[in-house]
Structure 1
């Protein structure tokens, strides 16, 4: 059976600086129709930066949709017109942590919430961090603190619900694999 849904009509509901929201009428594979609320997003990057002591850098910030502070790996959105996710990752690493890396390795790419959004996230990893000569300023509406956490500290933060987003949890699992393989320093 072919599961493709044919879009019959698209109604723009909202146009913003970070996302657009459309209401779609679709034809289902069995001939019935349904409505789909679709969020369109330019995509994002996230970085797993591990320092010389074997600790990963996390940022603590307020997340309005959840009404709480979270600990997350550094990340940021790809702006309209940007075509190089790796360059965006380096920009975000500089902006959020004050570090640069000459060795950025792609770990994975994935859709963050495919049930209602087309945001595609690029996940990178580095264990070669260097302080930047010129740190970029945070976005005007961005407030965060940087933390260097051991694996045990990060897992404890996850257990407390401070680390609770998919990209950071995926990063923790990848970090655990790297530790088991001996590819990073074990604290």
Structure 2
């Protein structure tokens, strides 16, 4: 196999924001030449698929400013600290956005949603043995929980009704995990 690794020779920070940090790196290409790469440093995130005992799930409706529209999504949020465990982030975001607490969180892996311009990684969990409480949204967060059959949510992910990639990925991974254990929804 050919070594395709690009090695950073120098890095310039272009923007230091609250969430994102933009960089321009000069990289050494596999053939020895150099090129420029612009990329965003992201703290990472966790997405959670809640699964109720009766086969329902809970998604949220939330306005997203960059595309200027409302999306239906799985509960999710970013890491607040470098050393924060992904399971703790998942539990926090599930509670904040839906009011749900989960006795069981099953890891469903990670994925990189924007490999062409960001190092963001999203950890996915299946949340079960749920207890309903009150939402704990932050002061600048608005989200409307939506309870629906899990199979309906998966169908929406597959037919294009849902447009958020983390939600589509999280739902299909959860669906696969449930099928693997032989459970009927």
**TM-score with structure 1 setting the length:** 0.88
Unaligned runs of 5+ in 2: none
Distance in structure 2 (CA, Å) of the matches to 1:69 and 1:97: 17
Which position in structure 1 is the counterpart of 2:172? 173
Which position in structure 1 is the counterpart of 2:144? 145
Cα shift at 1:170? 1.5
Distance in structure 2 (CA, Å) of the matches to 1:41 and 1:150: 32
Distance in structure 1 (CA, Å) of the matches to 2:59 and 2:182: 20
8 A Cα contact 2:59 2:72, kept in partner: yes
Which position in structure 1 is the counterpart of 2:67? 66
Distance in structure 2 (CA, Å) of the matches to 1:19 and 1:180: 37
Unaligned runs of 5+ in 1: none
Distance in structure 2 (CA, Å) of the matches to 1:111 and 1:159: 19
Which position in structure 2 is the counterpart of 1:7? 8
Which position in structure 1 is the counterpart of 2:163? 164
Cα shift at 1:180? 3.9
The residue correspondences of 1:100-111 to structure 2 (distance < 5 A) are 100-111=101-112
The residue correspondences of 1:31-46 to structure 2 (distance < 5 A) are 31-46=32-47
**TM-score with structure 2 setting the length:** 0.89
Cα shift at 1:82? 3.8
Which position in structure 2 is the counterpart of 1:123? 124
CA offsets per residue over residues 111-156 of structure 1, 9 Å max, x none?
2212211111110002210124xx4631222111000121453245
Could you say if the C-alpha distance between residues 108 and 179 of structure 1 is closer, same or farther in structure 2, counting changes exceeding 3 Å?
closer
8 A Cα contact 1:12 1:21, kept in partner: yes
The answer to which of 14-23 and 76-85 deviates more is: 76-85
CA offsets per residue over residues 63-104 of structure 1, 9 Å max, x none?
112221111100000013442111111111111111111211
8 A Cα contact 1:70 1:162, kept in partner: no
For the aligned residue pairs, the C-alpha RMSD in angstroms reads 2.0
Distance in structure 1 (CA, Å) of the matches to 2:179 and 2:3: 41
8 A Cα contact 1:75 1:89, kept in partner: yes
Could you say if the C-alpha distance between residues 156 and 66 of structure 1 is closer, same or farther in structure 2, counting changes exceeding 3 Å?
farther
Count of residue correspondences: 184
